[in-house]
Structure 1
Amino acid sequence: MVRLPGLGLLVRSRTGHGAARGTAGLEPAMFVHGLGGSSQNWSALMASLDDTVEGRALDLPGFGHSPPPDNGDYSIAAHARAVIRLLEAEGRGPVHLFGNSLGGAVTVKVAAARPDLVRTLTLISPALPELPPQTSALPTALASVPGMAALYVRVTRDWPPERRTEALLSLCYGDPSVVGGPERAAAATEYQRRIDLPYFWDVMIRSTRGIVNAYTLSGQHSLWRQAERVLAPTLLVYGVRDRLVSVRMARRASRAFRDSRLLTIPGGGHVAMMEHPYLVERAFRDLRDEISARARGGAAGSTVTATADMSTAASGS
């Protein structure tokens, strides 16, 4: 638990092969989860990259095991400030910065505001403004409407944790069947723990409002304008079967970021780092190799957009 003024953040790190031999020579990385998620969402990807980066993942304020912030601010900007403060406190920058969904929007703001802290940016289904949103995402957005969360609680009060977890997996995964029995049981236990927290719904509602409010910002504060300001080489990952962030936004994103490459996963959903960690790992390693080759060659940065049809690889992962 990292204590900062007005803020407490749970930060997880790997204790696998990378940690066993020491982290000397490994480049630092930070992983930022999405709405309703936690640092545990990155476990599979962090494990596969622990020979390459010294990875840490945080629970955003009010999520996972991090307590709510003292000021009760759950806006995208507030989450971004929390990440920046953590990076400054740890002195690990510049880092390879990863973000999923809400965490994607947060890390875009971090990279735009503090390019000195970001080595590369990997965005998995980032919550960038999509108006109108696809219909399957509307129920999530409605959580920001006063009274809707209370109505949902009343309607689902008799649901067992397993049913709640199944609904969540169906929303986030392109193919929920990839989650095995033990993983489902662990997810149900963790979901119930979070729902029992007295501040759970307040955090969810305020964070959802933060996303909705960010969608309405214009001018220099627009998330798309922020994306244009990002200097770091950027990897964009989208799932064709994503029910929360439409793959149709992938092309716009690849044009917005000045130095981007794009991976689309035909069978993927909203959490590719959990559903297809091998594909995300491989794409990130390709990004690192590209940046290393560019540095050796002294070449200037350029926009690189590559759409990869990974259907064969996905079926084998």
Structure 2
Amino acid sequence: MRLSSPSVVRLALLAGALLLGATVTGCSQQSAQDSLNRVVSTGGLTVTTDVVYGTDPRNRMDIYAPAGASAAPVVLFVHGGSWEGGDKAGHKFVGESLARAGYVTAVMNYRLAPANRYPNYVQDTAAALRVLRDSAKSFGGNPDNLFVMGHSAGAFNAVEAVDNERWLREAGVPISAVRGVIGVAGPYSYDFRTMSSARAFPEGALPDDVMPARHVRRDAPPHLLLVAGNDRTVYPQNGEQMKAALDAAGVPVTFTVLPGMGHITIIAAMTRFLTFLGPTRQDVIAFIQARRLP
């Protein structure tokens, strides 16, 4: 892809900000996403916006498909935002990146807290996966070659939706259809009760009731857990404890700590022209390629 001079300047400034900042939150995070999306082109891809998967206004997803795709792997991406913010439109760079790699990719919205607490947003993930699977062939995808990926709160949603067999069963998704789960900087195992994120969970809930690390089924698919070594938003212990839970259940897991990366840098590196920030994109693609159906 050829970038215009203003885009090059904008990208250089963005990359510098990401490299210098250990964490980027709030308006800075939104600004970073907006800058990424302004320099990402979806030319040559088939993009279908606002595909409905439920009755709530936020039950929508955007689908990015490679031109001429046929029986391609299918990826569902779930955005972060502390369960109270974030939007699929801010993650066009993820959909474009994975579609260029040859995957039919859906980037979803979900119902937000505090109006919608656990398990609503997890149920939305499973419901989106059901609709994506049912319609995969129309976008050039293979419905039995599914991967679920999320960043931050979205990684919680992705892992919980697949590892706790209740959610796929209730949504009508065969558990054998999911080939792998990818969690990027996810809060899988922590005590939320004294934190602002308590607003995302039911009154009186305990970590054992809601945390993905407590709900791992023994027949869960392989996992890739990417942890930002310099993350000050979601501490790396979350990934370590999730890995321990997967190991205890005998679930294959690839656990990688990316040194020097922060909570936003690790997902920004999914952008095709920001891979110099770190190996997020390469690791995700290698994981999918190793576990996709032939």
Bin the TM-score by the shorter chain: 0.5 to 0.7
Structure 2 CA distance for aligned equivalents of residues 30 and 256 of structure 1: 23
How far 1:85 moved relative to its partner? 1.8
Does the CA contact (< 8 Å) of 2:79 and 2:151 recur in 1? yes
Change (3 A) 1:41 1:268: farther
Structure 1 CA distance for aligned equivalents of residues 202 and 258 of structure 2: 24
**Percent identity of the aligned residues?**
15
Does residue 1:88 correspond to 2:137, yes or no?
no
Structure 1 CA distance for aligned equivalents of residues 63 and 77 of structure 2: 10
Q: Which residue of 2 aligns with 1:26?
A: 72
Structure 2 CA distance for aligned equivalents of residues 252 and 59 of structure 1: 27
Larger Rg: 1
Structure 2 CA distance for aligned equivalents of residues 100 and 213 of structure 1: 26
Structure 2 CA distance for aligned equivalents of residues 212 and 102 of structure 1: 19
Does the CA contact (< 8 Å) of 1:77 and 1:109 recur in 2? no
Does residue 1:99 correspond to 2:167, yes or no?
no
How far 1:57 moved relative to its partner? 0.3
Aligned length: 211
Does residue 1:43 correspond to 2:92, yes or no?
yes
Q: Which amino acid aligns with 1:234?
A: H
Change (3 A) 1:25 1:2: closer
Does residue 1:291 correspond to 2:291, yes or no?
yes
Does residue 1:271 correspond to 2:252, yes or no?
no
Structure 1 CA distance for aligned equivalents of residues 234 and 181 of structure 2: 18
How far 1:3 moved relative to its partner? 4.0
Does the CA contact (< 8 Å) of 2:190 and 2:207 recur in 1? no
How far 1:129 moved relative to its partner? 2.2
How far 1:130 moved relative to its partner? 2.0
Structure 1 CA distance for aligned equivalents of residues 241 and 197 of structure 2: 27
Alignment of 1:174-213 (within 5 A): 208-210=199-201
Q: Which residue of 2 aligns with 1:243?
A: 232
Q: Which amino acid aligns with 2:107?
A: A
How far 1:53 moved relative to its partner? 0.8
Change (3 A) 1:212 1:130: farther
How far 1:32 moved relative to its partner? 0.4
Structure 2 CA distance for aligned equivalents of residues 243 and 213 of structure 1: 27
TM-score normalised to the size of structure 2? Answer: 0.62
How far 1:41 moved relative to its partner? 4.4
Counterpart of 1:111 (choices 162, 165, 168) is 162
Structure 2 CA distance for aligned equivalents of residues 43 and 223 of structure 1: 27
Q: Which amino acid aligns with 2:56?
A: L
Change (3 A) 1:73 1:132: closer
Does the CA contact (< 8 Å) of 2:225 and 2:256 recur in 1? yes
Does the CA contact (< 8 Å) of 2:213 and 2:241 recur in 1? no
Q: Which residue of 1 aligns with 2:171?
A: none
Does the CA contact (< 8 Å) of 1:238 and 1:264 recur in 2? yes
Counterpart of 1:59 (choices 94, 99, 109) is 109
Does the CA contact (< 8 Å) of 1:268 and 1:276 recur in 2? no
Does the CA contact (< 8 Å) of 2:191 and 2:207 recur in 1? no
Q: CA deviation digits over 1:245-266, x for unaligned, max 9?
A: 1113332222222210012111
How far 1:281 moved relative to its partner? 1.6
**Secondary structure at 2:235's aligned position in 1?**
coil
Structure 2 CA distance for aligned equivalents of residues 237 and 41 of structure 1: 21
Counterpart of 2:120 (choices 60, 69, 78) is 78
Does the CA contact (< 8 Å) of 1:61 and 1:79 recur in 2? yes
How far 1:13 moved relative to its partner? 2.4
Does the CA contact (< 8 Å) of 1:46 and 1:55 recur in 2? yes
Change (3 A) 1:5 1:57: closer
Unaligned runs of 5+ in 1: 64-71, 145-207, 297-317
How far 1:273 moved relative to its partner? 4.9
Q: Which residue of 2 aligns with 1:308?
A: none
Unaligned runs of 5+ in 2: 1-49, 137-142, 169-174
Q: Which residue of 1 aligns with 2:196?
A: 142
Does the CA contact (< 8 Å) of 1:33 and 1:102 recur in 2? yes
Q: Which residue of 2 aligns with 1:218?
A: 208
Q: Which amino acid aligns with 1:109?
A: E
